[in-house]
Every structure is written in C-alpha cells, then in structure tokens.
Chains A and B, each alone.
Chain A
C-alpha cells in the first residue's frame, strides 16, 4: 500500500523567507501527486498536482510553486513567504479509489 512521508511536521518561518516542503511516496510508481493547503478553520484547497516528472499543474495562482524532480518526490516552494501562506499543507497521492494523504506540515509565517 502507498505511504506518504512529509516533513517537517511543523515549521515557523519569518515573512520574506524561502520555503521548501518535501513529500515522498512509497509503495507505488508513477503516482499522481497533489499539494493541498488548509487555512485555519477552512476546507482543503487544491494547490498543485503532477501526473509525472517535471509536469506541474497549478490550480490557484499565488506565491507558491511546485516541482517534481523524481517520480516519487514532490516539492512545494516559495521564494518569499507571506503571512497569508500560513496553514496546514498536505501532500496526497492517487490510489485505486480516491487519495492517500500524508500527515501534513503546519506552517506558521510570523
């Protein structure tokens, strides 16, 4: 079965600093991968998805970018964080039915 690893679990970063969140997947090959964000008290917002190495689709234009350098690696980045980037970031992988989610990274921008 698929397992998703995300790190770090929590992160506090100052405004204007860069960001790199990494997600790796085990137990599958050529997965479809997704980044979601959940602001405090809100639902999950789809940010990016990738169907293969180097292929990124953006759902919402914003201060973030994503990359997929390897088959089972998905990275979320920012050059300069904004206060509004705070939230709970989740990586997900397509499975036989629905999605498997990682345990998430809680980012606080101060």
Chain B
C-alpha cells in the first residue's frame, strides 16, 4: 500500500508570513493524484489544492501553492500571506489514478497562526 508521511505534527506562523508544510509519499506508480485538505475546528474537510502527477507545473490556488518533486516523491504546501482563518489541521493525500477510488492520507499537520 502507498504511504503518505507528514513529518511535522505541528507548525506555527506569524500572520502575513509564509509557511511551508511538508509531505512525502511512497509509491511505485507513475500516475496518481496528490491533494492537500484543510480541516478547521468545525471538522469539515475542505480541499485546498490538487496536483496531477503527469503535470510538471506546480498547482496554485490564490495564496496556496505546491512544490511537487516527483522524483523525490515530495509534495509540500506553501501558504503565503497567512491569515488567522488558515489555522487548521492540514492533511496530505494520495489517490491512485487508474484503479478504483483508493485514497491514502497522511497523519496531518496542525497549523497555528499567530496574530
């Protein structure tokens, strides 16, 4: 089975600063999808950003961007201009591309935003 590793259980950032959350994964497949999900205290799971492995260009969504390093099997999330509302648990996830609907999640990084 694929494994997804988030080595930073907790991170903090000053408001308006930039923070990077790390994620690595282990797979023998060449085609897959990677995701970052945000879970605020409300527990709702919210998709932040998605990256297709066959695309070399890094995905961006407003203040959120990723650094996708396929050879290194690394998928970090950069949050620019951090806001208080960014405080949440962030999960990295891997999805197989061509078989079924299997998802693998990391253990999460709890992000605190300091005013």
* A and B associate in one complex: no
Which residues of A approach B to under 8 Å, CB–CB?
none
Seen from chain B, the residues whose Cβ lies within 8 Å of a Cβ on chain A are none
